[in-house]
Chains A and B, each alone.
Chain A
Amino acid sequence: MIAELGHFALTLAVAVALVQMLAPLAAGQLAGLSSLQRDQLMALAVPAAIVKAALILLAFLALMYAYVVSDFSVENVYANSHSAKPLIYRISGVWGNHEGSMLLWVLMVASFGAAVATFGGHLPHSLRANVLAVQSSIALAFLLFILLTSNPFLRIIDAPIEGRGLNPILQDPALAIHPPFLYAGYVGLSVSFSFAVAALIEGRIDAAWARWVRPWTLAAWMMLTLGIALGSFWAYYELGWGGWWFWDPVENASLMPWLASTALIHSAVVMEKREALKVWTILLAILAFSLSLMGTFLVRSGVLTSVHAFAVDPARGTFVLLILAIFCGGALTLFALRMSTLKAGGLFAPISREGALVLNNVLLTVACGTVLIGTLYPLGLEAVTGGKISVGPPYFNATFGPLMLALLVALPFGPFLAWKRGDVYAAMQRLVWAAAIAFAGIVVTMAIGGRGPWLAPLGIGLGLWVIAGALSEIAHRGRLGSVPLATALQRIAGLPRSVWGSSFAHAGAGIMTIGIVSMTAYQSEQVIVMREGQTTQIGGYSLTFKGAAPRRGPNYREEVGVLEVSRGGRAIVELNPAKRLYDAPRQTTSEAGIHASWRGDLYTVLGDAQAGGGYVVRLYFNPLVRLIWIGTLVMFFAGLLSLSDRRLRIGAPQRARVRSGPLPAE
């Protein structure tokens, strides 16, 4: 009954989505309407957006209920759940499969639509209505996709007693929350897309538009950042060989929208401040969401052979491809038609803040294009010539790497260049301290790193350069050094939050760089057979193997190794790397035993028992690896900081609304 309720709510949502989509368009297109009628038609989109979100939420909760009570008469629950699973994984199982994850996706689209409806009171009425209409068309497309090809509410006539279970590697706290964040990011970009298309429909694109769209892009970017970081962290500790990024097509599918949205945040700044880069910003907003859609297509259609592609069904792939073609193609056509009406904005010299932001956009976009080429090339080549090639990490390191290096080298200069016309030498002078810190870092790394590749110290220096450059901006804005310290601190405390936000985000990129470089260049590894009582050394730790024993978990049994870790003769911790065998489906996973410290991670993996006694044990020391995720967390909070800036806070300024209809008499 509950499942049918969900199914019904979802179907009803289609009708509401139609209303939300058509009412504002009709208001704009139909002749012979009075302005009051137009206003009322447009206003209809607001309650429709909220009702639609509520209906989809109801459907989502209905499916979740079926999972929680293990209602195996629902096919989706039977195929992906198991009654012995802990509650959190029964809940996360809802989006751990194709149908459920698409329902989560459409719930996100609708929620963002409802958010625009609720918090968009300060927007011009027609713009908000058009944004909601476009947003609703996206929701509608995916609602139809779910109902026609991927219905999660289908019943089985003879309900099985037990479900088939969730893929064990997905039974993990980080992966339970990874998809919601990632989807929130993907789908958040749909708001930027809707704003762009609505602006093109209205034909009015100005600095105010950029200010309205920025918080939404920022929010999407933050979610995407956190979602990708969670996925990467999960891969690091769960897949059992200590990697954190594999250039897997599915990872690339999330990286591309991230790169595009990062570029979009920056180009929107130029548009907001200087009315320049309008054409480009609109195009970027369209492309960013198109890349999200493409990511969805790649993952959902199963065209890529990869662990994530659990839906292999050509009907679905074709449907998503159709959605992609309609939205991407439609928006680009509209863009081409209206492009000539966009007036060029403020002029600027190549060396200027605008110029720096253009460089940022060039590098990010080309990097994004590179990932796109690398990801799609094998598919394209196979389709055209039938030839099979592999494009793996070495390709991306060779192409994507240099672009990121150039970006990081140039990054600290940007904030020190003035708008319109900047002065590189003045910027250099202000970055002297940052350069000194980077240089010191290089020397120190050379001294203690020793055996690593010669490029590694430069990489560490680069990370420090970016961090110190970001902090220099704060110091410079506070006039630290040229006014009394107390005044400077006061000035610094009074800086707008968006300044703090951008500085922290840049520092986060620097922190991440240091983590990546030290992990890549200075990781140490040992693969040995250890017998009980045997001791080995790695990363300054001494590890003693105390054997392995079987143990029973809630829905798995495991073999747990015992490694006693000491450092300088002092016992520190006991690590328990394990091999798990899940009951349903019968599948094994490896659970690494990790000891984190500020120096880095001691990462241990238990291998097989050997015929002659003892176990294969894999030991890693990953120096400073946590900085990779700490850096992304810093970026996330930087986004939060920037979002809380008074100037961007939704609804704070511009309370006065322009109404075209008659005002009620006071």
Chain B
Amino acid sequence: MSRAFCAFVRAGCANAIIVAFAGLIMALLAAGPTLAVQPDEVLPDAKLEARARALSADLRCLVCQNQSIDDSNAPLARDLRLLVRERLTAGDSDAAVMNYVVARYGEFVLLKPPVNGSTLLLWLGPPAMLLLTLIFLLMKVRRDRLVREAKVKPLSVAEQARLDAMLKDGGNS
């Protein structure tokens, strides 16, 4: 009786250890990448879902490093994805959803910064660089043409005569 009891307890302990260990492994595995958009988040309306995905791609996961909420595994990203879908389901336009999110999380959340005073250089920089370079090149082309024309045009008869005269009297004309 006591032997059987002991064996039972021992087996029970071993089982408990195995179960606990397996549980630990599962917990650790579960703590890993729970991937981006989950099936339970997907909206039944395909059109609405497509809009949600497009908006998500432009929203930054605030706790991540340079990831959109569409790509991110973070819980906060999931919250934001759900929020976007909630607003869309409520009938908000894309712009209204973005404004709603920006009002709560600030402009930092936008992966495409809006054009305003503090981002003027950011948005004007590239076209300005292109424009300035092209203007510079255009001026250079004109200057080159002048140089070339000056180079190739021979002196006219009158010019030659004047030059000869100047050379003859030592430049005192």
Q: Are B141 and A350 in contact (CB under 8 A)?
A: yes
Given contacts A362-B134, A385-B118, A588-B31, contact A391 B113 (CB under 8 A): yes
A571 within 8 A of B: no
Q: Hey, what's the 0/1 contact readout for A577-610 against B, CB within 8 Å counting as 1?
A: 0010100001011100000000000000101110
A618 within 8 A of B: yes
Across the interface, A590 reaches (CB within 8 A) one of B31, B32, B39, B71, namely: B32
Q: Are A347 and B60 in contact (CB under 8 A)?
A: no
Q: Are B65 and A581 in contact (CB under 8 A)?
A: no
Across the interface, A588 reaches (CB within 8 A) one of B29, B60, B65, B106, namely: B29
Q: Are A581 and B35 in contact (CB under 8 A)?
A: no
B139 within 8 A of A: no
What's the nearest-Cβ distance from chain A to residue B28, in Å?
A: 5
Chain A positions within 8 Å of B123 at CB level: 399
Given contacts A390-B109, A392-B60, A581-B25, contact A370 B129 (CB under 8 A): yes
Q: Of all chain A residues, which has the CB nearest B28? A: A581
Count of CB-CB pairs between chains A and B under 8 Å: 136
| Residues of B in contact, count (CB < 8 Å) | 47
What's the nearest-Cβ distance from chain A to residue B149, in Å?
A: 11
Of residues 243 through 283 on chain A, the ones whose CB sits less than 8 Å from some CB of chain B are 243, 246-249
Given contacts A389-B118, A399-B126, contact A307 B32 (CB under 8 A): no
What's the nearest-Cβ distance from chain A to residue B120, in Å?
A: 11
Chain A positions within 8 Å of B44 at CB level: none
Q: Of all chain A residues, which has the CB nearest B58? A: A394
A550 within 8 A of B: yes
Of residues 264 through 305 on chain A, the ones whose CB sits less than 8 Å from some CB of chain B are 305
What's the nearest-Cβ distance from chain B to residue A165, in Å?
A: 15
Q: Are A527 and B58 in contact (CB under 8 A)?
A: no
A366 within 8 A of B: yes
Q: Of all chain A residues, which has the CB nearest B66? A: A248
Q: Are A362 and B112 in contact (CB under 8 A)?
A: no
Q: Are A605 and B118 in contact (CB under 8 A)?
A: no
Q: Are A373 and B126 in contact (CB under 8 A)?
A: yes
B133 within 8 A of A: yes
Interface of chain A: mostly helix, strand, loop or mixed? mixed
A387 within 8 A of B: yes
B77 within 8 A of A: no
Across the interface, A373 reaches (CB within 8 A) one of B125, B134, B137, namely: B125
Given contacts A241-B71, A392-B111, A588-B33, contact A249 B66 (CB under 8 A): yes
Q: B interface vs A, CB < 8 Å? A: 25-26, 28-39, 42, 57-58, 60, 65-68, 71, 106-113, 118-119, 121-123, 125-126, 129-130, 133-134, 137, 141, 144, 147-148
Q: Of all chain A residues, which has the CB nearest B38? A: A616
A395 within 8 A of B: yes
Chain A positions within 8 Å of B37 at CB level: 527
Chain A positions within 8 Å of B147 at CB level: 347
What's the nearest-Cβ distance from chain B to residue A632, in Å?
A: 22
Q: Of all chain A residues, which has the CB nearest B34? A: A608
A236 within 8 A of B: no
Q: Are B35 and A369 in contact (CB under 8 A)?
A: no
Q: Of all chain B residues, which has the CB nearest A369? A: B129
Chain A positions within 8 Å of B31 at CB level: 588
A377 within 8 A of B: yes
What's the nearest-Cβ distance from chain B to residue A359, in Å?
A: 9
A306 within 8 A of B: yes
Q: Hey, what's the 0/1 contact readout for A367-378 against B, CB within 8 Å counting as 1?
A: 001100110010
A24 within 8 A of B: no
Q: Of all chain A residues, which has the CB nearest B125? A: A373
Given contacts A366-B130, A581-B25, contact A358 B39 (CB under 8 A): no
> Whole-angstrom distance between the alpha carbons of A432 and B113 in the complex?
42
